[in-house]
Amino acid sequence: MMKYLLIFFLSVTTAVYAQKAPEPYGALPSTRQLAWHDVEVYGLIHFTPTTFENKEWGYGDADPKTFNPTDFDADQIIKAAKAGGLKGIILVAKHHDGFALWPTKTTDYNISKSPFRAGKGNLVKEVEQAVRKNGLKFGVYCSPWDRNNALYGTDKYLAIYQAQLKELYSNFGELFMSWHDGANGGDGYYGGAKEKRSIDNTTYYDWKNTWTITRKMQPMANIFSDIGLDIRWVGNENGNAAETSWATFTPMAPDGKNEAVPGQANYPQSPGGIRNGKFWMPAECDVPLRKGWFYHANEQPKTPEKLFDLYLKSVGRGAGLDLGLAPDTRGQLHQDDVAALKTFGDMVKHTFENNLAKNAEVKASNTRGKKYNTAALLDHNKETYWATADQVHTASIELNLKSPTTFDIISLQEYIPLGQRIEAYTVEIFEKNAWKKVYDGTSIGAKRLIKLDSPVTTNKVKINVIKSPVCITLSEIGLYKKTS
């Protein structure tokens, strides 16, 4: 009996040992950041008196009565966003002009002074409700720079700004993002003073304590700023991350010596991140659907093809795509924007709905054990992953597609809860009886979408991980053919 027990015990421990998950590597994503990675594409709505002034930056002097949309329809905007594949919406609840879109106690310069819903309206609420009804996540942008407020620039303003955040954090449900822009152009209305006010944006907003409020009241809200905390600005408003794009980052001041505080980003490092950076701080690529963040009748939305390209260069580089949506003076998205979003959304949906590798036979040069075998690569579940044994830092995976298959996109995903591990890899296809390299890559992370210049047809594909400091994980592999 004892002998059998011992054998039983030994086999159980060996099995458990063989199945042990890899040790995590480097900086790791938080639960809140993992939830953000799932959103991938979201929108940023700009709609304030500035829309009615046909400007990009309101000075802060617009009469609240100018905020008078003829036919505001939150549902129209959110449905269009949803058709575009957007899974979250951030509303600019207050832009630089200082006009609050909810009936705040913190300033008179707010929606209750406008004709909107006869002074009884709450636009943040209407958008939040439409967002939730359509199954999207909600976030807010409250500009720290306030060109209307008489106290801006004095030591009394921060308390006002923090009180605004508290209102936004208490009345609109769980937020997935709290977006803090860094703009400060200096001049403004400031209660009639009409002057230039400069502040030191590295200290004035006391971000450390201000964000303590965010953490306490909205623990799932990802804090976005030029340097993080959770999500870093990608450093441009073109909608793309760098070809090599690490989710890890150490915000460094431009002097290259000191760690940066918000307002001090070393922007040249933002598009690519920093390999082995101290923090998990993936990039957000924010880009307006049109040219400006606000609606201007003479501008056009980007084409669906352009949007798809930006998708590949943001989401496909492990970053997020934050698309600016600009309602017109009716308070709706223009029909051209609606059409562009819909075609873009369909393009993404139809391109990625059919993984052409799904029935492939997969062989890996190394596998950590049953739980981490290659079946995990094609089960359409990013929580399951293939991994190599601890000491194995390079490996090849061969997909046998059974019949010639045509594709032009290769999708790779690392199992990021264990960190960003892979540093270099190649992709090969079998053509004319020989292996031919079609891509040389570096970073993968949450998602890497490799777009080939033209479609290839083959029945065998090989991924070779050629550099990793630790054992390898991959949660999904996909082959896709872009639809038009």
Q: Which residues bind Ca ion (CB under 5 A)?
A: 376, 379, 381, 384, 475-476
Using DSSP, how many helices (H) and how many strands (E) does the chain show? Answer: 9, 20
State which amino acid sits at residue 459.
N
Instruction: Give whichever of 377 and 392 is closer to Ca ion, judged by the CB atom.
Output: 377
Q: Is 97 in the site for ligand FUL (CB under 6 A)?
A: no
Residue 123 Cβ, how far from ligand FUL at the closest point, in Å? 16
Residue 379 partner contact from Ca ion, ligand FUL, none using kind-dependent CB cut-offs of 5 to 8 Å: Ca ion
The answer to whether 61 contacts ligand FUL (rule: CB under 6 A) is no
DSSP 324: E
What's the closest the beta carbon of residue 299 comes to ligand FUL, in angstroms? 15
Q: DSSP 3-state assignment of 467?
A: strand
Alpha carbon separation from 236 to 145, 272, 287, 443 (Å, rounded): 20, 12, 8, 20
Task: Identify residues 267-286 at the interface with ligand FUL (CB under 6 A).
Answer: 286
Residue 183 interacts with, from Ca ion, ligand FUL, none (CB under 5-8 Å by kind):
ligand FUL
The Cβ-side half-sphere exposure at 39, using a 13 Å CA radius, reads 32
Q: Which of 480, 280, 247 lies closest to 380, judged by CA?
A: 480
The pattern of x and - marking residues 28 through 47 that bind ligand FUL according to CB under 6 A reads ----------------x---
Q: How many residues does the chain have?
A: 484
d(CA 44, CA 287): 9
CB of 292 to ligand FUL, least distance (A): 8
Quote the CA–CA distance of 129 and 134 in Å, as a whole number.
9
Among 10, 15, 183, 193, binds ligand FUL (CB under 6 A): 183
Residue 230 or 476: the one with the smaller Cβ distance to Ca ion is: 476
Under the criterion CB under 6 A, does residue 226 sit at the interface with ligand FUL? no
Q: Which does 381 bind (CB under 5 to 8 A by kind): ligand FUL, Ca ion, none?
A: Ca ion
Decide if residue 186 touches ligand FUL (CB under 6 A).
no
Contact flags string 285-324 toward ligand FUL, x per CB under 6 A: -x------x-------------------------------
Q: Residue 337, interface with ligand FUL (CB under 6 A)?
A: no
CA angle 451, 454, 460 (to 5 degrees): 80
Q: Is 59 in the site for ligand FUL (CB under 6 A)?
A: no
Phi-psi sector, 432: left (phi>0), alpha (psi -120 to 50), beta: left
Three-state secondary structure call for residue 19: coil
Helix (H, G, I), strand (E, B) or coil at 341: helix
Other CB atoms within 10 Å distance of the CB of residue 258: 11
Q: Position of tokens 């269009």?
A: 80
Return the one option of Ca ion, ligand FUL, none that residue 90 interacts with (CB less than 5 to 8 A, by type).
Answer: none
Is residue 12 within the footprint of ligand FUL (CB under 6 A)? no
Binding site for ligand FUL (CB under 6 A): 44, 56-57, 181, 183, 286, 293
